[in-house]
Amino acid sequence: MLLHFTKMHGLGNDFMMVDLVTQRARIDAEQVRAFADRRFGIGFDQLLVVEPPRDPDMDFRYRIYNADGSEVENCGNGARCFARFVRDQRLTHKREIRVETAGGPLALTVQHDGQVRVDMGRPRFTPSTLPFDAAGDRPLHALDVGDDTLEIGVVSMGNPHAVLQVPDVDSAPVARLGPLIEAHPRFANKVNAGFMEVVSPSELRLRVFERGTGETLACGTGACAAVATGIRQGLLKSPVRVVLPGGELTIEWAGPEAPLVMVGPVARVFDGRVTLG
């Protein structure tokens, strides 16, 4: 069968978008890996699937698959693309869209300027929510990685993140430390590794080594995680401009009892069809 899809990106974090509301198909991990191949397939960081909701209070179900075929809980840049996609496909005419994810519900708003605002919910710092093997809930945890002992902040944005502050993000050892942090045995389900340079209380620079994908040009949940941990440590003050290799996001967080909000652009690249089966 032919499967219709759309290629989109948020700040260079790119996605294959599939509508399984009007199409019927089953996509397995092997097919995801084949589609993700940038030489022999379509090429993307994640495959995002739109499905009918299971919860009647939600508009859609939002499912996310990494390039290695693993299903994950959340993707912030993908959520913005999701909102634009369901409107472009005329699956909804709403500007405010509620979706269910494996990491919990998300509220998406398509603004009149074309940018998308995402209510990401409250960041969760308790280690068991990631899960992360650690005693106590504190701003920084020591993590032994090879010969290095790193001081990391840990936070769940519906998916797990470890955030390491670095003096210069350009020279940060992302390629070396990223895979070691991602697969560290203290993270039972692996983890996304963020490398954060604080430029000022209202600006940071960030690179993210994503679980199951590798380093990407942008990571929305990673940006949220970095801002949340930075504010918690007293290094940042909302709103924060987050500069990623692929572009910029604005992250707002009013405090522990408030949801964290992300605002940023999306882009449609092309539509296509691929043989499935």
* Two domains, one topology: 2-121+265-275 and 127-258: yes
Output the tens digit of pLDDT for each of the chain's 277 residues: 899 999 999 999 999 999 999 999 999 999 999 999 999 999 999 999 999 999 999 999 999 999 999 999 999 999 999 999 999 999 999 999 999 999 899 999 999 999 999 999 999 999 999 999 998 889 999 999 989 999 999 999 999 999 999 999 999 999 999 999 999 999 999 999 999 999 999 999 999 999 999 999 999 999 999 999 999 999 999 999 999 999 999 999 999 889 999 999 999 999 999 988 7
Among residues 75, 108, 116, 225, the one annotated as catalytic is: 75
- 76-88 helix and 220-232 helix, angle to the nearest 10 degrees: 140
* Rg for the chain, CA atoms, rounded: 18
Tokens of 58: 């939600």
Mean pLDDT of the chain: 96
Residues 6 or more apart in contact with residue 22 via CB below 8 angstroms: 89, 91
Q: Where are the domains of the chain?
A: 2-121+265-275, 127-258
pTM: 0.93
pLDDT tens profile 26-75: 999 999 999 999 999 999 999 999 999 999 999 999 999 999 999 999 99
- What pLDDT is attached to residue 1? 86
- Annotated binding-site residues for substrate read 13, 46, 66, 76-77, 159, 192, 210-211, 220-221
Under 8 Å between Cβ of 185 and 261: no
- What pLDDT is attached to residue 219? 96
Q: Which CATH number fits domain 2-121+265-275: 3.10.310.10, 1.20.140.10, 2.160.20.60, 3.40.50.300?
A: 3.10.310.10
Among residues 219, 224, 236, 240, the one annotated as catalytic is: 219
CATH H superfamily, domain 127-258: Diaminopimelate Epimerase; Chain A, domain 1 (3.10.310.10)
User: For this structure, is 224 an active site residue?
Assistant: no
- What pLDDT is attached to residue 276? 85
The Cα–Cα gap between 63 and 201 comes to 34
How far apart are the two ends of the chain, measured CA to CA in Å? 7
- Annotated binding-site residues read 13, 46, 66, 76-77, 159, 192, 210-211, 220-221
Residue given tokens 């998406």 in the structure block: 108
